[in-house]
């Protein structure tokens, strides 16, 4: 057996290894190998799972919370929603109906959902189509081509915008993009000038040869080779607000589209935000599109109010990202072994 490498091993999950003749719990465990490939804030992977005879309990791991950038655990809960969507897609692909109940037990704040799984010959066809995108999806922070989305692509994405307690807005109007770009760059100045923000980010930045299963390897920020060893020190020590603001302003303004997922600040709504976001980016990935976050105006309270006003939202902006055409980001971010996030017994 090859040694576990967090950069590669989790991403090399092969569908032919699905334990067709295995016990039900073994099958559910295999499906979770796709759930843990979901994105999460700073790649904290703030989830835990407990296998049950009829499904999986999904927990928040609050020990992995980001006190500075996400003081209310908003993005933590959203990340778990993204993992739930991956589980739904993998379940559909391997022939399991998946019904998810949010917050199944009162007075258990860690327990966010129960995914009931049952064999079915008629699983969701649209979800199945996203299966191969799970291992292809990457956050891609590079520059994209300055090119509009094709009409049919936009139409396909528009179909994913309505939810129950959350929704998605796709912005392609350049004037609105420019107003949002201004908030993004303001956000960069505010966040990067805060030593606590930089300290927290730095504590999750890893060298390009990291053997740790979490955090953001420096290549995710375009930091190459040997210099990547200095990545955390660099982030911690220098206020990079000005160059970051300039770059992000351009990215937001020129993006083929800006996408806002919005909803309320309740756990139910945030889980749905995460699910809708992940479905959206898996679809975009399957279409050959790239995406990266510009969450600054959602993370700074005053900017969030202004973003809400620009968009005329009745509820609150939760995520902001750009999509477009670019060379795919080849290298994946590390993941912890599945056994590290399973609760036994
Ligand atoms: C809720 C959430 C918030 C995130 N916020 C940011 C962000 O503000 N800036 C950023 O560059 N990446 C952000 N990310 C992306 C993560 O850093 C990324 O998912 C993680 O490093 C794993 O990499 P991968 O998406 O390529 O698998 C966010 C992801 C999630 C799910």
Q: Ligand 1: which atom is nearest the Cα of residue 332?
A: 26
Determine the distance separating the centroid of ligand 1 and the alpha carbon of 294, expressed in angstroms: 10
Same domain flag for 187 and 315: yes
CATH of the domain at 301: 3.40.109.10
Does residue 240 carry a pLDDT above 90?
no
d(CA 334, CA 215): 7
Report the Cα 345 to chain-centroid distance in Å.
29
> Domain for residue 206, yes or no?
no
Same-domain status, 118 and 159: no
Same domain for 182 and 131: no
In a shared domain, residues 270 and 131: no
My answer on whether 22 and 56 are in the same domain is yes
Range with lowest mean pLDDT among 86-95, 130-139, 215-224, 293-302: 215-224
Query: Is there a contact between 85 and 278 (Cβ–Cβ < 8 Å)?
Result: yes
Confidence tier at 231 by pLDDT (50, 70, 90):
confident
Q: Is 48 in the pocket of ligand 1 (CB under 6 A)?
A: no
Q: Give the full edge-to-edge strand order of the sheet including 111-119.
A: 47-52, 55-60, 111-119, 96-102
**pLDDT at position 241, please?**
84
Do 90 and 132 lie in a common domain? yes
184 shares its domain with 279: yes
331 in a structural domain = no
Query: 174 with 98, same domain?
Result: no
Assess if residue 165 is contained within a domain: yes
Say what the pLDDT of residue 1 is: 65
Q: How far does residue 40's CA lie from ligand 1's centre (Å)?
A: 5
- Residue 229 included in any domain: no
- The rounded Å distance from CA 118 to ligand 1 centre is 31
Q: Is residue 275 part of a domain?
A: yes
Residues 108 and 163 in one domain: no
Torsion of CA 188, 192, 197, 201, to 10 degrees: 90
The domain containing residue 88 runs over which residues? 9-138
CB of 335 closer than 6 A to ligand 1? no
The verdict on residue 49 lying in a domain is: yes
112's tokens: 């966010």
Tell me what pLDDT residue 163 has: 97
Q: How many CB atoms lie within 10 A of CB 104?
A: 15
How many structural domains does the chain have?
Answer: 2
What percent helix, strand, coil does the chain show, rounded to 5?
Answer: 45, 15, 35
Is the pLDDT at 230 greater than 90? The verdict is no
Residue 272: per-residue pLDDT: 98
- CA distance linking residue 276 with residue 85, whole number of Å: 8
Q: pLDDT tens digits, residue range 305-326? A: 999 999 999 999 999 999 999 9
Residues 165 and 275 both lie in one domain: yes
Task: Dump pLDDT digits (tens) for 168-178.
Answer: 999 999 999 99
Q: What is the mean pLDDT of the chain?
A: 96
* Angle made by CA atoms 65, 314, 257, in degrees to the nearest 5: 75
pLDDT for residue 83: 99
Position 278 pLDDT exceeds 90: yes
In this structure, the answer to whether residues 22 and 120 fall within a common structural domain is yes
For residues 74 and 85, give the distance between their C-alpha atoms in angstroms, rounded to a whole number: 17
Distance 92 CA to ligand 1 centre (A): 25
pLDDT at 203 over 80: yes
Best mutation site among 295, 321, 329, 330 for ligand 1 pocket (most ligand atoms within 8 Å of CB): 295
Q: Is 221 in the pocket of ligand 1 (CB under 6 A)?
A: no
- pLDDT tens digits for 107-151? 899 999 999 999 999 999 999 999 999 999 999 999 999 999 999
Non-local (6+) Cβ contacts of 221 within 8 A are 141, 205, 231
Looking at the fold, whether 157 and 110 belong to one and the same domain comes out as: no
Q: 200 — phi, psi (to 5°)?
A: -65, -45
Would 109 be classed as within a structural domain?
yes
Of 148, 153, 140, nearest in space to 172 by CA: 148
State pLDDT tens for residues 72-93.
Answer: 999 999 999 999 999 999 999 9
Phi, psi of 262 (to 5 degrees): -130, 155
CA dist 115 to 105, 306, 310, Å? 13, 37, 37
Do β-strands 96-102 and 47-52 pair in parallel, antiparallel, or remain unpaired? unpaired
User: pLDDT band for position 234 (50/70/90)?
Assistant: confident
In a domain, 334, yes or no: no
């Amino acid at each position: 057996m090859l040694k576990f490498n967090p950069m590669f091993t989790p991403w090399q999950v092969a569908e032919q290894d699905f334990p067709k003749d295995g016990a039900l719990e073994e099958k559910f465990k295999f499906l979770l190998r796709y759930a843990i490939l979901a994105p999460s804030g700073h790649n904290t992977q703030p989830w835990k799972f407990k296998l049950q005879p009829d499904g999986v309990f999904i927990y928040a791991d609050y020990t992995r919370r980001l006190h500075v950038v996400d003081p209310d655990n908003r993005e933590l809960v959203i990340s778990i929603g993204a993992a739930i969507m991956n589980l739904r897609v993998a379940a559909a692909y391997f022939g399991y109906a998946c019904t998810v109940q949010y917050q199944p037990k009162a007075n258990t704040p860690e327990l966010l959902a129960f995914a009931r799984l049952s064999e079915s010959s008629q699983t969701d066809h649209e979800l199945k189509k996203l299966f191969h995108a799970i291992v292809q999806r990457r956050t891609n922070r590079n520059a994209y081509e300055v090119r509009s989305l094709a009409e049919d692509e936009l139409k396909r994405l528009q179909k994913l915008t309505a939810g129950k307690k959350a929704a998605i807005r796709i912005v392609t109007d350049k004037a609105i993009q420019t107003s949002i770009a201004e908030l993004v760059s303001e956000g960069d100045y505010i966040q990067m000038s805060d030593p606590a923000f930089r300290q927290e980010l730095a504590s999750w930045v890893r060298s390009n040869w990291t053997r740790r299963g979490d955090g953001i390897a420096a290549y995710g920020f375009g930091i190459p080779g040997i210099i990547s060893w200095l990545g955390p020190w660099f982030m911690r020590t220098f206020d990079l607000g000005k160059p970051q603001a300039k770059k992000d302003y351009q990215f937001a303004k020129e993006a083929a589209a800006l996408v806002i997922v919005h909803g309320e600040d309740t756990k139910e709504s945030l889980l749905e935000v995460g699910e809708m976001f992940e479905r959206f980016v898996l679809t975009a990935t399957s279409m050959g599109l790239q995406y990266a976050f510009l969450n600054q105006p959602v993370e700074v309270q005053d900017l969030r109010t202004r973003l809400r006003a620009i968009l005329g939202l009745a509820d609150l902006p939760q995520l902001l990202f750009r999509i477009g055409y670019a060379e795919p980001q080849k290298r994946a971010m590390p993941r912890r072994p599945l056994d590290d996030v399973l609760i036994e017994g």
